[in-house]
Amino acid sequence: MNLLKSSLLLLSVLFIMTVSAEAAETKDLSTITVQGASTLEVTPDQAVISIGITNSAPSVSAVQTANAKVASLVQEKLLDAGITKEKIRTTQYSISPIYTNATDNTKPPTITGYQADNTISVTIDDITAIGTIIDTAAGAGANQISGIQFEKKDELKLKQTVLQNSVQEASAKAEALAKALNKQIVRVISVNENGVSVQSPSHNTRYEMSLKAVGATPIQPGCIQVHGTVTIVFEIQ
């Protein structure tokens, strides 16, 4: 039993000595901390259009039937235009009462009808066809656009490239600092990713669509910006 206690005590002392030595070694290190950043601007190659169908009718059943009829026609025309079924989906649907105030203001508002709002999300891979798709939907009875979001299919690859470029910039900064101090970089102590952001151009203003569009509605996509930063600690000597 005494032998076991002695062994445990010896192991504890050795462990404390090792940790203390490592802590002292880390404390005595000469380090420099640098931040690297990178930004890429790329042209989007995909767009998501939110197409709205809004209508009103005296009853719930009537407004449902009318809205469903237009929505079916819109989807049919989009399929005819080359949009695949899996890239068309309903993202919002609601029916709300329409109130009318009494003329003498002595009675509470009464329900005089119902409004249906149906939003269809359409993903297209050819952004040059955005105007044509919008006009096709308008011709089928859609009457609102609630947003156009531009995207890049290989977004993950772009994020990885931005991080790699950020590391390269940080390394170049560290080399310059070390040289100015007559030091050399020994190794990397730590690397922290500070985040990657993607800023996509979008048109989010809700507006009514013309039911008699002439030619394709002009849409300018702009550029997607991908920005990333890293912080790296280098040991120097």
Look at residue 136 and tell me if it is in a domain.
yes
Q: What is the mean pLDDT of residues 209-229?
A: 70
Look at residue 63 and tell me if it is in a domain.
yes
Q: For the segment 51-102, what is each residue's pLDDT rounded down to a tens digit?
A: 999 999 999 999 999 999 999 999 999 999 999 999 999 999 999 999 988 7
**Given pLDDT bands bounded at 50, 70 and 90, which one contains residue 209?**
very low
Sign of CA dihedral 20, 21, 27, 33: negative
| Best CA proximity match to 209, nearest among 217, 201, 200 | 217
Number of domains composing the chain: 1
Look at residue 69 and tell me if it is in a domain.
yes
C-alpha–C-alpha distance, residues 134 and 52, integer Å: 11
The average confidence (pLDDT) of the chain is 85
Look at residue 158 and tell me if it is in a domain.
no
Look at residue 211 and tell me if it is in a domain.
yes
Q: Is the pLDDT of residue 215 over 90?
A: no
- 63 is in which domain, residue-wise? 46-152+202-217
| Most confident by average pLDDT, 4-18, 165-179, 207-221 | 165-179
Q: What is the mean pLDDT of residues 20-24?
A: 45
Q: Is 148 exposed, middle or buried (0-12, 13-18, 19+ CB in 10 A)?
A: buried
Q: What is the mean pLDDT of residues 144-171?
A: 93
- Strands (DSSP E) contained in 58-133 are 88-100, 110-124
Look at residue 163 and tell me if it is in a domain.
no
Look at residue 29 and tell me if it is in a domain.
no
Kindly report which listed range (15-29, 159-173, 180-194) carries the lowest average pLDDT score: 15-29
Flag whether the pTM goes above 0.85. Answer: no
pLDDT, position 202: 66
Output the domain CATH number for residue 119.
3.30.70.2970
Look at residue 91 and tell me if it is in a domain.
yes
- Residue 171 burial (CB count, 10 A): 17
